[in-house]
């Protein structure tokens, strides 16, 4: 819980039993690998997983960053520890999530959504690794104007932003009943 919750608030638990789910996924992957090995060479396999190992494996980015920097991980709320903007925003017409993971996506965001191509060219923001250290202003303030305008400009549903309560909407027609 040292990495969940608001940066200046109390820790939160995960919204779902994610470690349990990932342990099951790990077990399925191991079972499939064992079946493939049996098919290939006729040998049986022993499958073993546990929640602690799975939880540690799921924290590979957090653990790696702590080991590389010598700094303990901390809470960032809905923001990403090392990518900006990659978090939730409140806009005039509702909340939304924005995940801009590449320099090209950031340039498109600045040009098409914010109407500020100068931000994409600004040395403080142009490279992905520099954005988290730069002040979180400019793009945040401009994004508050409205999520609908931003979603259209980014090219939703393919774009890196969406309202949090609409995640299943784009999937609706493509979802099929499993029988």
> Which residue ranges form the domains of the chain, and what is each CATH number?
1-77 (no CATH), 86-170 (3.30.1540.10)
Report strand pairing: 161-162 vs 94-99.
Answer: antiparallel
pLDDT by residue for the chain (179 residues), tens only, comes to 788 888 888 988 887 899 999 999 999 999 999 999 999 999 989 999 999 999 989 988 888 888 898 988 888 888 888 888 888 777 777 777 778 888 888 888 888 777 788 888 888 887 877 777 665 555 555 555 555 555 545 544 444 554 544 444 444 444 454 44
The answer to whether the pTM exceeds 0.75 is: no
Question: Catalytic residue among 8, 20, 118, 130, which?
Answer: 20
Is the four-CA dihedral 127, 133, 138, 144 of positive or negative sign?
positive
Q: Which of left, alpha, beta for 115 (phi over 0: left; psi -120 to 50: alpha)?
A: left
Is 20 one of the annotated active-site residues of the chain? Answer: yes
């Amino acid at each position: 819980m040292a990495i969940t919750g608001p940066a200046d608030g109390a820790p939160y638990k995960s919204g779902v039993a994610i470690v349990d789910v990932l342990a099951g996924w790990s077990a399925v992957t191991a079972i499939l690998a064992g079946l493939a090995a049996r098919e290939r060479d006729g040998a049986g396999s022993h499958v073993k997983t546990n929640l602690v190992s799975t939880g540690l494996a799921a924290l590979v980015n957090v653990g790696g960053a702590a080991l590389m920097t010598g700094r303990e991980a901390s809470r960032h709320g809905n923001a990403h520890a090392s990518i900006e903007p990659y978090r939730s925003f409140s806009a005039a017409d509702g909340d939304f999530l924005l995940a801009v993971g590449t320099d090209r996506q950031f340039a498109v965001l600045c040009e098409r959504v914010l109407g500020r191509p100068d931000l994409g060219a600004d040395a403080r923001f142009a490279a992905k690794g520099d954005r988290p250290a730069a002040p979180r202003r400019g793009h945040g303030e401009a994004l508050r104007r409205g999520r609908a305008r931003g979603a259209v400009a980014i090219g939703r549903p393919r774009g890196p932003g969406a309202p949090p309560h609409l995640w299943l909407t784009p999937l609706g027609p493509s979802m099929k009943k499993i029988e």
